Structure 1
Amino acid sequence: MLLARIALEPDETTQADLLEALPADERARISRFRQMADQMRAITAAILPRLAIHRLHGVPLDQIALPRSSAGKPCYPDDPDFHFNLSHSGEYVGLGIGGAPLGVDCEQIRADRDQDAIARRFFTPDEQRWLAEFSSAERAQRFFELWSRKESLLKATGVGLSGSLASFDARPSRDRGTEVRVNGQRWFICSYSALQGYSVALCSAQPDLPSGPQVIDARSDPLDRLAASIEILLASDCAAATKGLRVRA
């Protein structure tokens, strides 16, 4: 799993170079975002999986199409064993890759949410009681921890927000990789505290979740830094990141 810190307001040359690496349809889609920060999150999210596909298959970045599945999840049909998922929040964009379905969620912790009202609507009764055990000072962190875990599972299944967050219990356990069953299928969820002020979760159909994400600063020389980080990620021995994937020699 990779978490990349990006410049939300880069110089025009940097932004133009990043856009040039993408297919024309992606450039057109991203240009419709009015805010520069939204454009940069979208650009980075578009580039990251393409860098991995380029390393695995040698396809130029601007020739890689990533259509959406029937459930709306981006995919790479030319390699059905390549699974990826993306998330972005604040200054960070996250990428998870693997040989089985997975979901990633990164949430910037904010105190301006009506957490109690959201919990009553989207959390199970057990999750609500678990959240109430924490002091008000810690509750926001725990709320976003639970929210990111539930989101990562919905993204892994491909259901997304059309699924019900209250239909399963995603409370963390002491063991890395809490097991959750949804519609008879096993999923494994792990939370990470790698970023101060953020909550990050990874859900995978594979039980061997990584001990932590790779965190990089890509605010300068972003394309080179992202490409180098993808190289490290693909060479990793973390089963949840690379099981089932074969890197070209």
Structure 2
Amino acid sequence: MHIIAVSLGTAFSVHELLAHVSPERRMSSSRLKREDDVRRALIGDILARMFAMDIEGMRNDEIRFDKGVFGKPRLSTMREPWDYNISHSGKWVAGIVSRKGQRVGIDIQKMAAVNPAFARYSLSAEEMEQYQNLKPEAQTRYYYDLWTRKESYLKMEGIGLTNPIRSVFSKQYVLKYEQSMLSDRLPDHAFRQYPVDPGYVLTACSTDFRFPDQYLVVRAKDLAEVFLRRCRAQAEQSAPELNGLPVL
């Protein structure tokens, strides 16, 4: 299992990267009004492509993505069963890739003041009671701890928000949440949080309990440069051989 956090704080060429993604991604990017949204979505796509190239040994122009029944992105063809997931918020894009046969989900969120309506929407009655009993400065962290855990679990399962998020987990989970803030275990999956940025919460969920102690942090500019170098090298390798024939 590998976890990667990509910082968007550095400039990179959106136009150059768009030439190496799918027509669907280019179309969806053209519909986004904010440049930050375009950059986050594009880097998420590039990160998924790098996973496919590294694990499957695929050329970039061979990579095709589709979606599961409830919309979880996946690689269309793969030799071995592996899973990945991407999340982005604010200035960060996070990705996770699994070991063989394991499922993963990840969620990163920039912390902000919690809207009471959002708290009522996303917390169960038991969680809401505990939330209200906390001091104001602790409420925000508690809310985003739970929100990212619920989101990462739903994304791992590939069911998105098809279930009411307030119903995810149960009284049992609230008790386990009190036992450990960093690496909770339920019978069939586990969570791990990583301190990527003081203003963000990053939570990973997996059926594999062997989370890495370290995660990789890279700059978007560096990721883009490595990806573009690979695409150029692949294009050169696929150029037709002239076999000594004169060039017309």
TM over 0.5: yes
Corresponding position of 2:46? 47
Partner of 1:67: helix, strand, or coil? strand
Matched, 1:224 2:230: no
Corresponding position of 1:174? 180
Q: How does 1:202-221 map to 2 (within 5 A)?
A: 202-218=204-220, 220-221=221-222
Give distance in 2, aligned partners of 1:176 and 1:91: 23
CA radius of gyration, larger in: 2
**CA offsets 1:79-136 (integer angstroms, 9 cap, x no match):** 251201110000100101103211100000011x31x433333222332233234321
Alpha carbons 2:8, 2:93 under 8 Å: kept? yes
**CA offsets 1:173-226 (integer angstroms, 9 cap, x no match):** 427531235xxxx121222222110011101011112234322222x3441367
Corresponding position of 1:82? 82
Partner of 1:82: helix, strand, or coil? coil
Which amino acid counterpart does residue 53 of structure 2 have in structure 1?
Answer: H
Q: Mean alpha-carbon deviation: is it higher for 100-109 or for 170-179? A: 170-179
Partner of 1:215: helix, strand, or coil? strand
Unaligned runs of at least 5 residues, structure 2: 230-248
How big is the shift at 1:140? 1.0
Corresponding position of 1:22? 21
**CA offsets 1:137-164 (integer angstroms, 9 cap, x no match):** 2211221111111111111111111112
Give distance in 2, aligned partners of 1:150 and 1:207: 17
Unaligned runs of at least 5 residues, structure 1: 229-249
Alpha carbons 1:109, 1:198 under 8 Å: kept? yes
Give distance in 2, aligned partners of 1:139 and 1:5: 27
Which amino acid counterpart does residue 145 of structure 1 have in structure 2?
Answer: D
Aligned residues: 218
Give distance in 2, aligned partners of 1:176 and 1:29: 36
**CA offsets 1:18-37 (integer angstroms, 9 cap, x no match):** 11221233222222212111
Partner of 2:67: helix, strand, or coil? coil
Q: What TM-score do you get using the length of structure 2 for normalisation?
A: 0.79
**4+ residue runs of structure 1 moved beyond 6 angstroms?**
none
Alpha carbons 1:177, 1:189 under 8 Å: kept? yes
Alpha carbons 1:7, 1:40 under 8 Å: kept? no
Query: Percent of counterpart pairs with the same letter?
Result: 24
